[in-house]
Chain A
Amino acid sequence: MSLVQISKVSRKYQLNSISVTALKNVDLAVAAGEFLALAGPSGSGKTTLLNIMGCIDKPTTGEVLFDNTQTASLSSDQLSDLRAEKISFVFQNFNLFPVLTAVENVEYALFLKKMTADQRRKKAEAALDLMGLLHLAGHKPLEMSGGQQQRVAIARAIVREPLLILADEPTANLDHKTGEEIVDLMKASNRQNKTTFIFSTHDQKVIDRADRVVRIWDGEIVSA
């Protein structure tokens, strides 16, 4: 049973007067619990594919089925609710809120769930602890290294126990060793919670750690 099913998806952008095709007739099925790498060079369409699977972008043509729901028919608010409930993101630039501390950043992911402040704080601290960062709970992002920030971002992603976590080049801004640690943390979460992970990368050592690799080239999937 697929968690995400993409059929004949194309995505075109209009850049001034030029039409750019980022994805061409892409078909892809991702099963629940997979640890999947989207590999390809810069500009190959990895981010566009992640955005479409994460319901933050819509295809120009084709269908996206997420957890048995046709996303094309959903309104902006319904898509927001779907993401809040079932999807988390990890970004290349970490995208933590600079005005919040580490634990508050993690808590914020739970803000949209019906939960008491106390429950939110406990879960956030547990997620940070899992990332080995409980001692930095009160620190703001700018007081942390890149690796630490990305681990906070992963804690924020896993804390609400989503069905799918999408990570766009999560190791691109980190040194190699830290990048490997980040992938290991993601993999541990995948193994422990059966959370589906899809991450994009062009780092071969990171690719090697994935269970399945989907290669994308010039907007087309060349091997899945």
Chain B
Amino acid sequence: MMTLKIALRNIFRHKARSVITLSTIVFGCVALIFIGGYFEDIFTQLRESYIRSQVGHIQIFKKGFNENGKADPYLYFLEDDQQIKAEIQAFPEVKSIAARLNFSGLISTGETTIVFLGQGLEPQYEQTVPQQETRDLRAFKKTSKSGSPVISFGQGLVEEDQRQVILGQGLAQTMGAQIGSTITLLTNTVYGSTNAMDMNVKGVFYTSAKDYDEMFLRLPLKTAQKLLNTSSVGSWVVWLNKTEDTDKVYNSLRAMIKQKNLNLELRRWEDLADFYNKTVAMFNKFYLIMRIVTGIIVVLGIFNTLNMAVMERISEIGTLMALGVRRSGVMKLFLLEGLVLGTVGGLLGVVAGMIVVSLVSSVGITMPPPPGASISWLSTPKIIPSVVTSTFVLSVVVGGFSALFPAYKASRLQITTALRYR
């Protein structure tokens, strides 16, 4: 206790200097907590946007689809078994399950004909049902199910629709299609013959992925099945109430497939989210570099303070050793001062960091669309407990580390030289 008391009092002996050092630590902590929370928000929004607008949490395919399905997808179509779907729907974590049928073909307005990727879906079960556009990003964030597609013109699909189609914004622009105009979809049936169908453009949507919007259109599942002349579906998409339950449900589904010996295979959203995974890896690398830079700044700040303290207190160090304090005891005293600086700075820093994140989050930062996307988004940085804890631990560890050299230097002083020093 005595050593701690001395360490604390020595730190506040030169108030201005200690305040500057503590400010360095506090700013470092605030920066790390804010950037950590900001990145986490990016990850969450990107992830939820990808899940809600495209892939769902878990996709269920016929066994072998992911390995061989690209070459011949029709061979790996699923029977749309309503009983199994109902069993999956009964999982408490599952919000909904819907069938999808992906296919490709040509889209024509008579004047223009291009390739499209089509998605037959069940609007009544889909959790990627487009929302009406709003310019209020905060309201949009609350109502858009975190990234569901947005209807920019016209209306979205409903269960009763048959010959209605909604087009991705880029696709609609390329085609010069208007709401209400008729387009023709041309594709091969599962038996290899060609089939065509006239469709009515009901709406135009956009998602967070510009590439997706330039290629995709959506239509009712039954219409897609008619076009392809099949009663099967391509996959089932499962949405959960919470993304955090993905692994739990994935494992339960695997067990169910094994137990019932079903000819199915599963993919989690992260297995399909290559862009998301790479983005997270890249941002995490940025964050690591930022931590190292912040750590170095804090090390230099504390090192400077303690080094000056050693120079100013040489005579005191001599007195301590003359009184019988071992060299290790002197070292402990200065290490403790570094640790106390790191601890006090870290505590103030995490409190300030959480306040800053809360304030910024309450206002939000409007961000431009990221590369490959078409939607501006509202960033609301989050307080991440693991980031707060690791920032505090980093501050304490760096405090101790910064004190190592000054503490060693102090402990190596010759007593007689130190006592003579003025």
Interface residues of A (CB under 8 A from B): 51, 54, 56-57, 76-77, 80-85, 87-89, 91, 93, 95, 97-100, 104, 107-109, 111-112, 117
Contacts and interface: CB of A to CB of B under 8 A. Distances in A.
Contacts of B1: 117
Nearest to B9: A99
Nearest 5 A/B pairs, CB to CB: A84-B324, A99-B9, A83-B324, A56-B415, A95-B319
Interface string B403-420: 000000000000110010
A91 B419 contact: yes
Given A84-B325, A95-B316, A112-B325, 12 more contacts: A51-B416, A56-B416, A56-B419, A80-B327, A82-B324, A84-B324, A91-B319, A95-B315, A100-B5, A100-B9, A104-B5, A117-B1
A97 B322 contact: no
A106 to B, nearest CB: 11
Contacts of B10: 99
A111 B6 CA distance: 12
B316 A97 contact: yes
A109 B323 CA distance: 7
Contact of A99 (B6, B318, B323): B6
B322 A56 contact: yes
Given A56-B416, A57-B416, A89 B323 contact: yes
A108 B2 contact: yes
A161 to B, nearest CB: 14
Interface of B: 1-2, 5-6, 9-10, 13, 315-316, 318-319, 321-329, 415-416, 419
B12 to A, nearest CB: 9
B324 A112 contact: yes
Contacts of B13: 98-99
Residue among B13, B325, B419 with max Cβ neighbours from chain A (10 Å): B419
Contacts of B325: 80, 84, 112
Contact of A100 (B6, B315, B328): B6
A98 B10 CA distance: 9
Contacts of A87: 324
A87 B415 CA distance: 15
Given A56-B321, A57-B415, A95-B419, A80 B326 contact: yes
Contacts of A111: 2
Contacts of A104: 2, 5
B81 to A, nearest CB: 76
Contacts of A91: 319, 419
A98 B315 CA distance: 12
A91 B319 CA distance: 9
B416 to A, nearest CB: 5
A117 B4 CA distance: 14
B326 A76 contact: yes
B63 to A, nearest CB: 72
Contacts of B319: 89, 91, 95, 97
A158 B67 CA distance: 87
A89 B315 CA distance: 14
A210 to B, nearest CB: 22
B418 to A, nearest CB: 10
A108 B10 CA distance: 15
Contacts of A89: 319, 322-323
Nearest to B414: A57
A76 to B, nearest CB: 6
Contacts of B323: 83-84, 88-89, 108-109, 112
A85 B324 contact: yes
Nearest to A140: B9
A5 B326 CA distance: 25
Contacts of A100: 5-6, 9
A80 B318 CA distance: 12
A109 B321 CA distance: 11
Contacts of B9: 99-100
Contacts of B316: 95, 97
A210 B169 CA distance: 104
Contacts of A84: 323-325
Nearest to B415: A56
Nearest to B418: A56
A83 B319 CA distance: 12
A56 B318 CA distance: 9
Residue among B10, B13, B324 with max Cβ neighbours from chain A (10 Å): B324
Contacts of A98: 13
A83 B1 CA distance: 22
A77 B326 contact: yes
A175 to B, nearest CB: 21
B326 to A, nearest CB: 4
27 contacts: A54-B322, A56-B419, A57-B415, A76-B326, A77-B328, A82-B324, A84-B323, A85-B324, A87-B324, A89-B323, A95-B315, A95-B318, A95-B419, A97-B6, A97-B316, A99-B6, A99-B9, A100-B5, A104-B2, A104-B5, A107-B2, A108-B6, A109-B323, A112-B323, A112-B324, A112-B325, A117-B1
A66 B415 CA distance: 19
B319 to A, nearest CB: 4
A67 to B, nearest CB: 14
